[in-house]
Chain A
Amino acid sequence: MEVTTKQFKRCDLVKTVGRVDSNTAPELAEAFAAINEADRYRIVFDMSEVDFISSAGLRVLINTQKTCKRWNRGELVLVCVPERIMGALDLAGFVPLFKFYDDVVEAVGAF
């Protein structure tokens, strides 16, 4: 799995390629944590090339969302979520907890 982070003026864009499972989820968690440690809490997560996500990955998303939303300082939004992964999010009851976008530019612009 590869994780890349790109900083924009008002938010950070994180992209992951590959599987997010118990093996790779810590790396994703670190990428989000690094952004939070820089006192930044508006994150766009591009999931277009995530081909698998387990509950370990979903836990990273929920923990990051909790951190970002604290004191209304920001949030984590999800972009280009593949259909099957949307199914997993739905099964976990996570859909109401995030904003979803179909386009990275739109998501970044919304901040």
Chain B
Amino acid sequence: MCCRFLSTSGWESIQFCPWLFVCLYMNDSQTRTFPGRFDSLADIGRFVCQAAEAAGLDERAVYAVQMAVDEACSNIIEHAYGGEGQGTIVCTCQVSDGALTVILRDQGRPFDPSGVPEPDLDAELRDRAGGGLGLYFMRQLMDEVHFVFVPGSGNVLTMVKRSTARESAE
């Protein structure tokens, strides 16, 4: 398959043909490690958006992925690490036809999603705390959200976004 061959020839060849870039991404996995700081969020956003586009997700779905991942990473920094500069976030994007899987790994405290209260979306203004929104967004925006804590390693958060009804090629 040409993309396997090309993946060994380096990134330089890609700039001459955008199709090759997509080809490399198909059924492929990219991993990057980011510093656990809020100023990494923009870079993480760009990384997952590129993968979401390569997976063939539409604009709305790409934005949903960007939001969910931003919420997840903010939570990792704030809650798993208890603040900035305490560890890294390892982000893996797995692209398959019509679906994107994002895996986020950290080395922080175990996160228990059942401990987070659901936000009250109908409360009066004065009763709105704004907390719990991040996790709520992740679950609403992504098709699957799974949390696992691996003792000795850290949290592994897996999220999947699938294309909605795929149009035929014509």
Contacts and interface: CB of A to CB of B under 8 A. Distances in A.
A23 interface: yes
B42 A55 contact: no
A105 interface: no
A23 B125 contact: no
Interface string A1-43: 0000000000000000001011100000000000000000000
A97 B141 CA distance: 22
Counting contact residues on chain A (CB < 8 A from B), the size range is 20 to 34
B38 A55 contact: no
Interface stretch (B88-96, B98-106, B128-136): B128-136
A45 B106 CA distance: 36
Contacts of B66: 52
A93 B122 contact: yes
A56 B74 contact: yes
B16 to A, nearest CB: 29
Given A22-B74, A54-B70, A54-B71, A92 B126 contact: no
B11 to A, nearest CB: 27
A58 B38 contact: no
B87 interface: no
A21 B141 CA distance: 17
A88 B140 CA distance: 11
B131 to A, nearest CB: 8
A59 interface: yes
Interface of B: 37-39, 41-42, 45, 60, 63, 66-67, 70-71, 74, 77-78, 119, 121-122, 125-126, 128, 130, 133-134, 136-137, 140-141
Interface of A: 19, 21-23, 52, 54-56, 58-59, 62-63, 65-66, 69, 84, 87-88, 91-93, 97
